[in-house]
Amino acid sequence: MANTLPPYVAPEIMDVLYTQDQIAERVRAIGKQISEEYKGQSIVLIGVLKGAAIFLADLARAITLDNTFDFVAVSSYGRARVSSGAVKLIKDIDNPIEGKHVIIVEDILDTGLTLNYLRDLMLAHKPASLKIATCLDKAERRLVPIHADYVCFEIPDRFVIGYGMDYAERYRGVQDIRIMPEDPPGH
């Protein structure tokens, strides 16, 4: 059976879970917390492409310390709503992180499989410290024992789009975080 995409669903008809203002307020708070915890030090933010790119950009600007960033790309969803469970590294970091303070920046912590894989991968690079920041935490779906050190919002087990998060590469530019309908109109 072919995996067919539903027709485009206008974001305006999706329920807003978090507004642009709510997101900005939480990102500023996390940026302040990180700035206080790492006062006088430099940090490296490692964004998980593509979903975390917008969150990483906002977080980097909210941190008042010297910070640089790099990116990794992994795949565990493909074009589905549910993780396949198999994590595949598509792009590793470009710069060494040995001896540096590192924060992995992810859009959503769901089953934990991806972040568990990435945590182990980054620890192999021997950073001075390693923490995790996530925009969304869907704890009820966790399959492995992992937690984020910085969380904007805990959410229920619903599929969300916007603020960098997508469905089959669509909706990343939606400025709010919205709930994707279970059964989109016309599907």
Q: Where are the alpha helices (DSSP H) in the chain?
A: 20-37, 53-62, 113-123
SS3 of residue 17 by DSSP: strand
Question: Catalytic: which of 58, 107, 110, 137?
Answer: 110
Beta-carbon neighbour count of residue 47 at 10 Å?
26
- Name which of 116, 111, 149, 112 is nearest 131 in CA terms: 149
Torsion region of 28: left, alpha or beta (phi above 0 gives left; psi -120 to 50 gives alpha) = alpha
Helix (H, G, I), strand (E, B) or coil at 154: strand
Helix, strand or coil, per DSSP, at residue 178? strand
Let me know if 58 is a catalytic residue: no
The 3-class secondary structure across 61-76, one letter per residue, is HHCCCCEEEEEEEEEC
In three-state secondary structure terms, 93 is coil
Distance CA 59, CA 163 (A): 13
Say if strands 177-179 and 15-18 run parallel, antiparallel, or are unpaired.
antiparallel
Active site residues: 110
